[in-house]
């Protein structure tokens, strides 16, 4: 049995697109983890399964590299939109992708589909939407302790959960040190994505991200949406800003109703035909 995956990246945040209409293999947590393994598999920050086509509805599933499922991914939906254009599923400039974390509106900004704007939905800072344990409240600049160190935390949902920490200086080592504790902290019953954020001025911020189920990544679409929304809610930025990550920069705009618009580039790496022995190994997981 043959199997084919397409590899793309959004600012170094790389995903495999697995099209169920072209493959007979069924994905599960174990074979997804093997596919994403950078030594024994293809290597990626996750797998995008789809399209699932129902009437005019296009749906996708976002798999984390540990085999868990994410509700939504900002880079993932843009990569998936690029694949849909490449594979001939979509010819229109504007359409919708359905995820477990809600509907995302896509707008192609060039003919190649390498630059896209995604309407990621509305943010909510309410604890029961994130979710965060305790009485119902908006989690704005609340002190939480991770690894015995207190941090000023703003939590929000944009279809998936985020914890944003404002800091004077940020680094990979620091976000990994915090993220190892915060991801599975008792406050977060469904775990959480963690961003540490530095505000440069009213139109520029920097972030480092530790993603739930993936660990450290060079960029995160939903993560930079969360950081931008937090910075704006804290009164530190204007509603339009650039978010700088190790993998590159994205443009963010927060509309009056709380909807976040994400604009950035997507790159195509290549089509990969998986070897027959490797496919049998993937099939052996049940």
Annotated binding site for substrate: 13, 64, 74-75, 160, 193, 211-212, 221-222
Spatial neighbors of 142 by CB under 8 A, at least 6 apart, are: 152, 153, 154, 155
Give the residue from 98, 279, 260, 246 showing the smallest Cα distance to 175.
246
DSSP string, the chain: ---EEEEEEETTEEEEEE-TTT--PPP-HHHHHHHH-TTTS---S-EEEEEEEETTEEEEEEE-TTS-EES--HHHHHHHHHHHHHTTS--SSEEEEEETTEEEEEEESSTTS-EEEEEEEE-B-BTTTTT-SSSS-B-SSEEEEETTEEEEEEEEESSSEEEEEE-SS--HHHHHHHHHHHTT-TT-TT--EEEEEEEEETTEEEEEEEETTTEEES--HHHHHHHHHHHHHTTSS-SEEEEEETTEEEEEEE-TTSEEEEEEE-EEEEEEEPPHHHHHHHHT--
Give the residue from 245, 154, 175 showing the smallest Cα distance to 204.
245
User: Which residue numbers belong to the known binding site?
Assistant: 13, 64, 74-75, 160, 193, 211-212, 221-222
Spatial neighbors of 40 by CB under 8 A, at least 6 apart, are: 34
């Amino acid at each position: 049995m043959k199997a084919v995956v397409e590899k793309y990246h959004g600012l170094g945040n790389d995903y495999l697109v697995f099209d169920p209409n072209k493959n007979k293999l069924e994905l599960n947590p174990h074979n997804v983890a093997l596919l994403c393994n950078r030594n024994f598999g293809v290597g990626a920050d996750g797998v995008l399964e789809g399209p699932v086509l129902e009437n005019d509805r296009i749906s996708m599933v976002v798999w984390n590299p540990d085999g868990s499922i994410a509700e939504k991914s900002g880079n993932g939906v843009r990569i998936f939109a690029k694949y849909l254009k490449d594979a001939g599923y979509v010819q229109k400039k504007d359409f919708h992708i359905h995820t477990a974390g809600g509907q995302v509106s896509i707008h192609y900004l060039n003919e190649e589909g390498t630059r896209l704007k995604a309407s990621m939905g509305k943010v909510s800072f309410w604890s029961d939407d994130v979710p965060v344990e305790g009485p119902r409240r908006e989690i704005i600049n609340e002190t939480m302790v991770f690894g015995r160190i207190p941090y000023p935390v703003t939590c929000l949902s944009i279809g998936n959960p985020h914890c944003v920490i404002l800091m004077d200086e940020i680094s990979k080592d620091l976000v990994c040190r915090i993220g190892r504790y915060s991801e599975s902290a008792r406050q977060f019953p469904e775990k959480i994505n963690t961003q540490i954020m530095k505000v440069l001025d009213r139109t520029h911020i920097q972030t480092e991200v530790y993603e739930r189920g993936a660990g450290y990544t060079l960029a995160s679409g939903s993560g930079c949406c969360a950081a931008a929304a937090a910075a704006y809610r804290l009164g530190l930025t204007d509603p339009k800003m650039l978010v700088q990550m190790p993998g590159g920069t994205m443009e963010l705009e927060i509309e009056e109703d709380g909807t976040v618009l994400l604009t950035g580039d997507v790159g195509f790496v290549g089509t990969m035909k998986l070897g027959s022995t490797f496919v049998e190994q993937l099939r052996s997981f049940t």
